[in-house]
Amino acid sequence: MKKLVLVLFVLGLTSPIFAQNPIELSEVFITAKNYKYLSSVDNSEAPVSVKTLEREAAVFNAKEHSDLYVDNFNTYNVSFYIPDGKIVALYDGDGNIIKTIERFKNVQLPEDVQNSIRKRFPQWEVVKDVYEVKYTETKGAKKLYKVKLKNGNETIRVKIDEYGNYM
């Protein structure tokens, strides 16, 4: 009986080792192409769904999708969707991200934003929020939170940047 338990324990520890998927080299090169985008929109407190969709936009190979090509501007216009939000990205002819517009609903607010709301509106609760990111190749990313607060029968809407500064 002890041997059976020991064998099952060892198998349980070693099976995840064989379940790892290798990284394809092509993904690394595409990510390196859009490193400015990824480093600009990086938010350590962002939910996994937001990070995943941003990475998907960064590794997307627009050249493989000729139906997305806009000949007048030599660009590719691509939309990425998840239930919580979307990203609309504009790529140049080489596959580099020129600009994005991102919008995600009801994400976990960063700690700076939460603290700022608690300090200025202590009796209010967050009912709804929208996280918006506007990225351009020249200006970087601008992140904004639109928050709906409620206190009894009263509701207000506020705009806050990623550092907790009100707009």
pLDDT band at 18, cuts 50/70/90?
low
For residue 159, what are its two tokens? 């705009």
Half-sphere exposure of 121 (CA within 13 A, CB side): 20
Q: What is the pLDDT at residue 30?
A: 44
Going by C-beta distance under 8 Å and a sequence separation of 6 or more, which residues neighbour residue 104?
47, 49, 50, 84, 85, 130, 131, 132
Q: Read off the pLDDT of residues 22-37 as tens digits, 9 standing for 90 and up.
A: 545 455 444 467 888 9
pLDDT band at 94, cuts 50/70/90?
confident
Going by C-beta distance under 8 Å and a sequence separation of 6 or more, which residues neighbour residue 112?
162, 163, 164
Q: Are 149 and 157 in contact (CB under 8 A)?
A: yes
Beta bridge partners of 14: none
pTM for the model:
0.75
d(CA 62, CA 133): 21
Q: Read off the pLDDT of residues 57-82 as tens digits, 9 standing for 90 and up.
A: 998 887 777 767 677 778 888 999 99
Angle formed at CA 50 by CA 48 and CA 54, multiple of 5 degrees: 115
Q: What is the pLDDT at residue 2?
A: 65
H-helix or E-strand spanning residue 99: strand 97-105
Q: Are 76 and 90 in contact (CB under 8 A)?
A: yes
Q: What is the pLDDT at residue 127?
A: 96
Look up residue 154 and give its amino acid.
E
